[in-house]
């Protein structure tokens, strides 16, 4: 059985940081449907903003169209905000929310 040695301060800090990162819920970038935006525009925007391939961009667009909204990206808050801003700059109705 391996012996347990006390953690040094730097180890504790590192452990807390890792634990915090692991338990922090991700932020979702949501795109909402509207009655006027052409589907092809949404696909182009997803390809350009996220670099998604055409089939993934199309699938996400169809989810927005059929379900009224889609989670198009998940991850840390700052990046989620950045993506949301890019989508809004491209004229899409986008928001962020923390994963439930």
Partner 1 sequence: MPGRLFVRRRDGRIEVRLNDAARAVAREAFGHVLAAEADPDHEWHASLNSPIDPSHDVDDPLATLSRQHDVTSNVELAVATLGEDFLNDAEAWAWLCTLQVALRATITAKGLMSAERLNEADEATRDYITTLQTFLFGLADAM
| Among positions 60, 61, 72, 92, the unique one binding partner 1 when judged by CB under 8 A | 92
By rule CB under 8 A, what count of residues binds partner 1?
27
Strand positions, DSSP E, 1-100: 27-32, 69-75, 94-98
| C-alpha distance from residue 68 to each of 31, 32, 43, 74 (Å) | 8, 6, 16, 18
Does residue 61 interact with partner 1 by CB under 8 A?
no
The 3-state secondary structure of 13-26 reads HHHHHHHHHHHCCC
Identify which of residues 22 and 36 has a Cβ nearer to partner 1 in the complex.
Answer: 36
Task: Show the tokens assigned to 35.
Answer: 């009655």
Element of type H or E holding 60: helix 54-67
| Among positions 46, 48, 52, 73, the unique one binding partner 1 when judged by CB under 8 A | 48
Identify which of residues 12 and 53 has a Cβ nearer to partner 1 in the complex.
Answer: 53
Identify which of residues 8 and 25 has a Cβ nearer to partner 1 in the complex.
Answer: 25
Q: Which residues of this protein are in contact with partner 1, per CB under 8 A? A: 34-38, 40-41, 43-45, 48, 81-82, 84-86, 88-98
């Amino acid at each position: 059985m391996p012996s347990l040695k006390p953690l040094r301060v730097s180890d504790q800090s590192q452990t807390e940081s890792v634990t915090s990162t692991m338990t922090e819920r991700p932020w979702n970038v949501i795109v909402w449907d509207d009655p006027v935006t052409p589907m092809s525009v949404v696909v182009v925007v997803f390809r350009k903003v996220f670099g998604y391939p055409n089939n993934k961009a199309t699938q996400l667009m169809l989810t927005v169209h059929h379900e009224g909204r889609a989670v198009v990206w998940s991850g840390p808050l700052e990046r989620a905000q950045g993506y949301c801003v890019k989508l809004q700059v491209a004229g899409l109705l986008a928001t962020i929310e923390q994963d439930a």
